[in-house]
Amino acid sequence: MIKIVVAGTGYVGLVAAVCFAEKGHQVIAVDVDENKIQQMKSGKCPVYEKGLEELMVKNYQEGKIDFTTNYQNAYQDADAIFIGVGTPEKSDGSVDLTDVITVAKQIAENVQKDCLIVIKSTVPVGTNEKIEKFIKKHLVHHVKIEVASNPEFLSQGNAVEDTLAANRIIIGTESEKAKILLKKIYEPFHLPIVCVKRRNAEMIKYASNDFLALKVSYMNDIANLCELVDCDIEEVAKGMSYDSRIGNHFLHAGIGYGGSCFPKDTKALVDLAKQHGYKLKTVEATIEINQEQKLKLFQKANKRFVTFKDLKIAILGLAFKPGTDDLREAPSLDNIRALLKKGAKIYVYDPVAMENLKKKYPTQIYYTQNPEEALCDADLCFIFTQWQEIKNIKPQIYKEKMKTPLVYDGRNLYDLEEMKKAGVEYYSIGRRENKKTKHNMFKQYMRLCTFLKSKTFKKWHTEK
């Protein structure tokens, strides 16, 4: 049995710790927050993630995982220590490695046997090498350590499945010994393992995330063009998806990406390129497009209304995606800030993310118990998250509940014709809402032009 210690019980660390335990390893999860440790021991998961709490409780009760703030004891005799703490972005877009360095120093001061330190946190290329030198410099006991890279590729809302049934495990090592131990740790997962050098593993993480972010921004850019040239982005995306070189993932147009990964990882890679005198044009464009896309619907509505002051605005969906309570870089936040500046009265609903929004706006916003309450007498509605609960709202509900049935949908949840039949004025992304009406008007105009040129009209006009 391999004794594994995981530093950090946030999104990355806790998912890794619980999944290692589920696969039969003895795991200790370390965090500096005593309240969080007690919360987990009592069976309450601090991270909102599908299936995580149940798995955490199960393995804790079976004695395969424990939680502690006593990192001194935890690090002493570990076979492998995984670092899964946060690496937020700084104001200039670079990566803040403060927590990683803090854990590295704690490990150096307390490890008392040969140990493999594995960095799961997303870190710039070259960080593993620097952390290894740092730990060796500060070692208190005469032991051998090595640092390896094992980046995570988790999708929030699906992190447990993404770990237990990953499409690949990336391990970056500089020695055969480290590679063998990591492969042994992941052997019970029965998943493809890709073994590379440390720097390559670090780059794989950034290159993968940034490519997906680029794909999202590309589709949003095409969606904006579709609106101008009378195309439907959903039909375009469907046609693209059959090309095996493109695939069918990340082709959905909307109001941009958010979360803890894409925004900071794109900025971090751009920053890394700048440090080496290189301009990463594709990723810079991705960031620019995404930022502009977030306010696309607000700008549409702003053109329509003279003012938002004292209008009741219903907002359905706050989290950056369904299945999570994460508001980091969520498009809803950009729109809420813009609407509050315009004097709007905002009524919000989200099944799990409202408590997090209350930390930012405890009194400036009205929090509702259900979508219908938010929609009641609303002047307009914005949809920012594709929760199934929101998708299930019937079009006629908007007509019945709202003062003005006017909906700006950032996730393209509804059928255009159904919303039209229900009497809802409906705007989405990359779909020409009134294209049939405009097409019919154009045909009528062409018929009129043809008639005016006809002999019949000329004869009638002469007789008159």
pLDDT in tens, the chain (464 residues): 789 999 999 999 999 999 999 999 999 999 999 999 999 999 999 989 999 999 999 999 999 999 999 999 999 999 999 999 999 999 898 999 999 999 999 999 999 999 999 999 999 999 999 999 999 999 999 999 999 999 999 998 899 999 999 999 999 999 999 999 999 999 999 999 999 999 999 999 999 999 999 999 999 999 999 999 999 999 999 999 999 999 999 999 999 999 989 999 999 999 999 999 999 999 999 999 999 999 999 999 999 998 999 999 999 999 999 999 999 999 999 999 999 999 999 999 999 999 999 999 999 999 999 999 999 999 999 999 999 999 999 999 999 999 999 999 999 999 999 999 999 999 999 997 644 444 444 445 455 556 556 655 555 555 54
Helix axes 296-304, 331-341, angle to 10 degrees: 30
Q: Which two tokens stand for residue 437?
A: 């009406």
CA distance linking residue 286 with residue 289, whole number of Å: 5
Strand order in the sheet with 65-68: 65-68, 26-30, 3-7, 80-83, 115-119, 145-149, 169-172, 193-196
pLDDT value at residue 157? 87
pLDDT value at residue 455? 56
- Decide if 149 contacts 80 (C-beta within 8 A): no
pLDDT value at residue 318? 98
pLDDT value at residue 459? 55
**pTM score:** 0.88
Helix axes 281-294, 262-275, angle to 10 degrees: 150
Q: How far is CA 151 from CA 2, 16, 27, 132, 203, in A?
A: 20, 11, 19, 16, 10
Helix axes 281-294, 198-228, angle to 10 degrees: 50
pLDDT value at residue 454? 62
Burial level of 222, CB count in 10 A (0-12/13-18/19+)? middle
- Decide if 3 contacts 79 (C-beta within 8 A): yes
Per the listing, tokens 């099944």 go with: 351
pLDDT value at residue 438? 46
CA distance linking residue 77 with residue 81, whole number of Å: 10
Q: Is the dihedral of CA 377, 338, 412, 47 positive or negative?
A: negative
Residue of 257, 164, 176 lying closest to 216 (CA atoms):
257
CA distance linking residue 86 with residue 10, whole number of Å: 8
Phi, psi dihedral angles at 225 (to 5 degrees): -70, -35
Q: How far is CA 210 from CA 207, 265, 429, in A?
A: 5, 7, 22
Q: Is the dihedral of CA 402, 404, 407, 408 positive or negative?
A: negative
- Decide if 23 contacts 188 (C-beta within 8 A): yes
pLDDT value at residue 441? 46
Residue of 178, 168, 179, 195 lying closest to 144 (CA atoms):
178
User: Catalytic residue numbers?
Assistant: 261
Q: Which two tokens stand for residue 415?
A: 């059928």
The pairing of strands 345-349 and 366-367 is: parallel
Q: Which amino acid type is present at position 252?
A: H
SS (H, E, C) the chain: CCEEEEECCCHHHHHHHHHHHHCCCEEEEECCCHHHHHHHHCCCCCCCCCCHHHHHHHHHHCCCEEEECCHHHHHHCCCEEEECCCCCECCCCCECCHHHHHHHHHHHHHCCCCEEEEECCCCCCCHHHHHHHHHHHHCCCCCCEEEEECCCCCCCCCHHHHHHCCCCEEEECCCHHHHHHHHHHHHHHCCCEEEECHHHHHHHHHHHHHHHHHHHHHHHHHHHHHHHCCCCHHHHHHHHHCCCCCCCCCCCCCCCCCCCCHHHHHHHHHHHHHHCCCCCHHHHHHHHHHHHHHCHHHHHHHHHCCCCCCCEEEEECCCCCCCCCCCCCCHHHHHHHHHHHCCCEEEEECCCCHHHHHHHCCCCCEECCCHHHHHCCCCEEEECCCCHHHHCCCHHHHHHHCCCCEEEECCCCCCHHHHHHCCCEEECCCCCCCHHHHHHHHHHHHHHHHHHHCHHHHHHHHHC
pLDDT value at residue 260? 87
Q: Which two tokens stand for residue 440?
A: 């019919």
CA distance linking residue 197 with residue 67, whole number of Å: 32
